[in-house]
Structures are given as C-alpha cells and as structure tokens.
Structure 1
Amino acid sequence: MKANRKLWVAATVCVAVVAGVTGCSQGDDKAADPFAGLTADAIADKAVETTKAATAFRMNGTGTTDGEEMTVDFSVDSKGTCKGTMQAVKGGKAELIGTGDVSYMKGDDAFWRSSGGEEGASADEAGAMSAMLKGRWLKMPAGSDEDAAAFCDLKTIVKDMEEDTPRKGMTRGADADVDGKSAATLTKKGEKGETTTFYVAKDAAKPYILRVVEAGGKEPGTVTLSDFDKPVTVTAPPAADTVDMEQLMKGAS
C-alpha cells in the first residue's frame, strides 16, 4: 500500500541519518499509542470534540451529490474569513472568498448557467445572468439565504460535521498515514452497505480528524482536513469588479 511505503521510506531515512535528528526515534521503534485503552467510539468522540474546537481548517476532496461529482478546496476560520474553489463536471467552477461580513463568489459560464437553472430560470435568463457576471464577483451579505454564504460560517460547518459523524458502533483498524501523519483508522458500516472511515491524528493533545472516506453508498467521497488553527487571509475584490446581490434582486423584482 502507498501509506505503508511512505512509512518504510521514513524509517529508512531515520536509520541513515545521524542519531538525534528531529523526527527519528533512538528508543523504541514504535511510538506509544495515545489512544491506548480507549474504544473506537471513545476515540471518535475525542476526534469530533477536538476538531469542533479548531479555530480554522482547510477542507479539500471530492464527493458525489445527486449523482454529480464535486471537487472542493476550501479554508475557513472562526472570524468568518474564507477562501476556496468548488468545481463540478456539469456545474462549472467557482471561486469563493469571505471577509466576515460579506462573501464573494465568481464562477465561470457553466457555473452561472447551472445555478440559474436550479432556481427555475429559463435558459435565456440564465444566459443573461452569466453574461452580466462574467469575470465579476457576486457580492453576498452575511446572513443571506445563499448556500455559498454558509461556507464561511465555521460554526455551521462543524455543527453539520458533528451531526453527520457516527459516534457509535465504530471499529478500529490498522493505523495509516495521512499526508505524513500517523492516524488511527475508525470504520463504521451502514445499514445500506455504505462504509465510513475516519482517520484520526495519533496526537494525545490534538487528535484532529484528518480524513473522512465514504464508500459504497449513493454519495461516495473523500475529504481531507488540514491547516488546523491557521488563520485565513483574504483580500476583498475591488468594488468595480463586483455585482451586489441585493441590488440584483431588487432589479429582478
């Protein structure tokens, strides 16, 4: 397996370098398990609570929703600052940034046409919206009903994460490697054949959820979490490059 190969390479490097280099153990070749004595369910509880307490993190991965594959790479912090991209094969690609009070979204032609269609607009109306927003950012005030605005709300994200994370009936498997970090593997099998696997950092102080893999169900996907507690820095686009959603809605009415 690729994960095992990474561990083997790391071990080989440690043997080759001078004793005492950071990251190479001179004692036991196996680090103590920070979850020793805990059930898989208890580890899941610790992971969820720790991840909920993070002041920021990055999410990237691919999943399937309503039969369409979506790729997301997104960073958000507790101040409502966020930035990232999302892309669907049929729905196009969009960039999103948030500055706390306002969110901005810029999509390509396919994205705006797809978004317009979801609201019941005609092909001509969706085309007109795409033309108006071409190369420009749609400005959305905080608290708007747009789904995009919720992307910048860390509390909403972690609440959804908590509700969607199984906490009972977990099984611990062999440890794995997630981007160079040792992780405990927790698996939950669903009633319809789906399997959810969580990779939890083997860190006694901060056992974050590092990766979630959903397989076998109607909405398979993989999401990796990183950059915990790292503030997100963004710059709002110039006013000349934006279209105000509130003004746009007033004009439409």
Structure 2
Amino acid sequence: MRPALSIALLPLLALGLAACGDDDSKGSDSAGDDKSSGSSQTSNYEDTPVDQIGEDVEAAMKALETVHLAGNIVDDEGQKILMDVTVSRGGDCEGTMQIEGVGSMDIIAVEGVSYFKADDAFWKSQGGEQASVITGLIGDKWTTDSSDPEGFAELCDLDELLSDLNSDDIAGDDSKVTGTQDVSGKETVTIAFTSDDGNQGTAYVAAEDPHYFVRFDVPEEGAMGFSRFDEPLEVEKPAAGEIFDLAKLN
C-alpha cells in the first residue's frame, strides 16, 4: 500500500504566471527601451504594461530561495486540497496538507527525503480494513518509503515549483490591470485574467520591487497566497527511532 500524495501544485503556479502577461516576444515589444523602468517603479505600478508585470514577476519569483504558500487548490476530480507549507530552493520544506475526503498530515522534506505524519482519517481512507493495523504499527512516528524515498519531495522543491514560470502557455489579450489592493498589509496591483479552463481570476502582484506574486484567486479552481519571501528555513530530520518505513507494509 502506498499513500496517494500526488498534488497538482505545478499547474497552479503556471496559472499564476498566466495572470500576468503574454508571450515573451509580445512582452519585449510592449516594454520597448523602457523595459527596466517598469521593474523599478514603487508607486503607480498599476500603469505598467501587463506584459512588463509578467516579466517582473517571473524574475522576482525565480530569484527566491524560500517562500511560504497557503491556500487551496481544486484538482481535476473536484477534490479540494488545503495547504500551508514553506518551500526552499534546496528542496527542504515543512507544513501541513489536508485533502478533502481523505485526511490531513504534517509534511517535511529534508536532504532529498520526504516524511509525513498523517491522521487516522487519512489511514482509514488509504488502508481500509487494515487502517487500525497500520496506525498501530506507525503510532506517532514520521513515515517515509525507502522504495521511493523522494516521495512528494518534488512538491517541496522550489526550483520545480517555479519551473513553469518560463512557460509559453500564458493568458490571452484579455488580461488587464484593474487597480490596486492591500493584501495582508502589502500594496498590490490587481490583474484580471482568464485561466486555461476558461475561468475568471484575479492575481495580486507586489507593487514594490521585487514584484512577487502575493496572491491569486480563481474561485472555481482555488486560491493561493505567497509570503515570508526568503525567510530562513531550517528543517530537522527525524531521528531514526521516530521514523516508520512504509516499505514494510508492502
């Protein structure tokens, strides 16, 4: 038995980029010789062409070493996933995840290995009649799988999460700046866009340089906030006696 931990984060970040521009060539043409001036603005950033904002966001997000993500996504089957996780470029992460109808868990990844500590609801959804046996074996230990040690570590790799930010799959000409809004004490520029699935959404981009994504929201697909940019992240590997190897259950 292997837990179902495949979470669709990468398309979510690609969706965020889709809020902010057109293809690379259009962005360059729109910015012209003033390409650098849009990035340096700290006021009236809403006057910046949407293509330039897209380039600014891509540059800012790709320079990050750590970032905190909190929000929800809805997968292709309509299942809601709540998450609150801090991710680093080195592949370490820590946080919590709740999968609607499945259960919740604490998650960490450190030194290329992922671990999680799930609740009884999760094990019941995964183990069925064997759930009580599994939880009896695991107790309060962190779980990992020596046959697949990376597990969901890909979801904790900032490089992987941000890899789609250079995608050419970007929203059409209807993306537009709609104003400004305070989000958790940070001034943002709001951008209306249409997702690849045809749903209306709003992206919130920091008005001051660096122009990070602060939040984006597509009611039919989910919402995600970004914060704690480049704050130090130290994840401690569980002691050997605190780890249960799921490979023993196969």
In the alignment, is residue 93 of structure 1 matched against residue 94 of structure 2? Answer: no
Q: Match of 1:223, SS? A: strand
Q: Whose RCO is larger (CA < 8 A, sep 6+)? A: 2
Q: 2:140 aligns with which of 135, 143, 151?
A: 135
**Cα distance change of structure 1 residues 168 and 55 upon mapping to structure 2, 3 Å threshold:** farther
Partner of 2:212: 208
- Cα-Cα RMSD: 2.6
Q: Match of 2:59, SS? A: helix
In the alignment, is residue 76 of structure 1 matched against residue 81 of structure 2? Answer: no
Partner of 1:226: 227
Equivalent residue pairs, number: 207
- The separation in 1 between residues aligned to 2:157 and 2:148, in whole angstroms, is 10
Partner of 1:166: 170
Corresponding letter in the other structure for 1:113: K
- The separation in 2 between residues aligned to 1:125 and 1:88, in whole angstroms, is 20
Task: Trace 1:135-154 onto structure 2 (pairs within 5 A).
Answer: 135-140=140-145, 144=149, 146=151, 148-154=152-158
Once the two structures are superposed, residues 40-73 of structure 1 have per-residue CA deviations (whole angstroms, 9 ceiling, x without a partner) of: 1321221122112211100001222222222100
**Cα distance change of structure 1 residues 165 and 238 upon mapping to structure 2, 3 Å threshold:** farther
Once the two structures are superposed, residues 184-214 of structure 1 have per-residue CA deviations (whole angstroms, 9 ceiling, x without a partner) of: 11111247541122100011x3000000111
Structure 1 unmatched runs, 5+? 1-30, 117-122
In the alignment, is residue 58 of structure 1 matched against residue 79 of structure 2? Answer: no
Q: Match of 1:138, SS? A: strand
State the percentage of identical aligned residues: 27
Structure 2 unmatched runs, 5+? 1-41
Contact 1:105–1:139 (CA<8 Å) still a contact in 2? yes
TM-superposed deviation, 1:88: 2.6
Corresponding letter in the other structure for 2:91: G
Contact 1:45–1:167 (CA<8 Å) still a contact in 2? no
Normalized against structure 2, the TM-score is what?
Answer: 0.73
- The separation in 2 between residues aligned to 1:34 and 1:101, in whole angstroms, is 39
TM-superposed deviation, 1:144: 4.2
TM-superposed deviation, 1:92: 1.0
- The separation in 2 between residues aligned to 1:198 and 1:82, in whole angstroms, is 25
**Cα distance change of structure 1 residues 90 and 49 upon mapping to structure 2, 3 Å threshold:** same
TM-superposed deviation, 1:234: 1.9
Contact 2:68–2:227 (CA<8 Å) still a contact in 1? yes
Q: Match of 2:210, SS? A: coil
Q: Of the two, which has the highest radius of gyration?
A: 1
- The separation in 1 between residues aligned to 2:229 and 2:147, in whole angstroms, is 24
- The separation in 1 between residues aligned to 2:55 and 2:148, in whole angstroms, is 30
Normalized against structure 1, the TM-score is what?
Answer: 0.72
Q: 1:105 aligns with which of 109, 116, 135?
A: 116
